Structure 1
Amino acid sequence: METVLRAASMYLLLMVVIKIAGRRTLLEMTSFDLILLLIISEATQQALLGDDFSVTGASLTIITLIVLDILFGNLKSRFPRVEQLIDGGSLILVEDGKLLKGRAKKAGVDEGDIMLSARSTQGLERLDQIKFAILEKNGKISIIPRE
């Protein structure tokens, strides 16, 4: 039972930490982010298994994490508010060529991030060429060019 509680608590803790860190953190990883992720995964592994390095303990931990993931997936599909709470929603960052600074700051995105996406996906060079820039749930910035 201790293994199940450890797995459940670490799952919930990581969900909260990743939610606080924001969507952009997950999509655009720097070398620092990768190192941090490796350290977090090692610390998580130690917290999940504790002193139990048995196959049974590891199997129980894995099963618990998968069951929790399935439960949260079902909750999100049944209750849109739960999905909004866990995954968030899309967020318009640029409207008619104007950066919405408050929203961008809240999302942890700057004009450079938006222009990088605009250049790489649409070949756009200036902010005024963008009709909408939308931060999607997965952290990707979608660009809709002006006609």
Structure 2
Amino acid sequence: MDIVLRATAMFFILFGLVRLLGKRELGQMTPFEVVVLVVMGDLIQQGVTHNDFSLTGATLAIVTFSFWGLVLGWLAYRFPRLKTALEGAPRVIVRHGELLEHQLHRDRMTRAEVESEMRLAGIARMTDVDWAILEPQGKISFIRRDGGEARQQDDDTPAG
């Protein structure tokens, strides 16, 4: 039971930290940040299972994390008002070709990052963007002024 309580506490601590990191940091991690995340995972494991290296201890920790993940997912589905608090909300960062600096500041993004994402989506100029929306998952959706939606290129899809 001790493992379940520690796993529950660690789940909510980790959930809070991920929400504090913001959308953009999770979408565009540097190699160092990936290493820090892996190390953090090991530290979390040590905090949850303590000195219990048994299969039962590991299973209890994994099941507890999965349980809370499912509960929060179900709550977000069942109660739409909670969805924004649990998952975040899309945020407009470009409106009618104008970059909304105050929105960028909220998510610790720079103009250069937005322009880089625009180029990946095949958009050359800010004036060509009618709307740009930072999605809760950290991706940016672009809608062109001509009415055509720009495709957001994923890391594993070839350009073209």
TM-score under structure 2 normalisation? Answer: 0.88
By how many angstroms is 1:113 displaced?
Answer: 1.4
Alignment-derived partner of residue 53 in structure 2: 53
Alignment-derived partner of residue 88 in structure 2: 88
The letter of the residue matching 2:140 is: I
Alignment-derived partner of residue 143 in structure 2: 144
List gaps (5 residues or longer) in structure 1.
none
Query: Hey, what's the Cα distance between the residues in 2 that align with 1:74 and 1:94?
Result: 32
Alignment-derived partner of residue 98 in structure 2: 98
Alignment-derived partner of residue 42 in structure 1: 42
List gaps (5 residues or longer) in structure 2.
147-160
The letter of the residue matching 1:133 is: A
Alignment-derived partner of residue 66 in structure 1: 66
Q: Secondary structure at the match of 2:4?
A: helix
Cα distance per residue 1:33-61 (max 9 Å; x no partner): 11211111111111111011111111111
Higher helix share: 1
CA-based RMSD of the aligned residues comes to: 0.9
Q: Secondary structure at the match of 1:9?
A: helix
Query: Hey, what's the Cα distance between the residues in 2 that align with 1:38 and 1:67?
Result: 22
Query: Hey, what's the Cα distance between the residues in 2 that align with 1:114 and 1:133?
Result: 9
8 Å contact kept, 1:93–1:135 = yes
Question: RCO (CA 8 Å, sep 6+): is it higher in 1 or 2?
Answer: 1
8 Å contact kept, 1:117–1:142 = no
Alignment-derived partner of residue 6 in structure 1: 6
Alignment-derived partner of residue 30 in structure 2: 30
By how many angstroms is 1:102 displaced?
Answer: 0.5
How many residue pairs get aligned? The number is 146
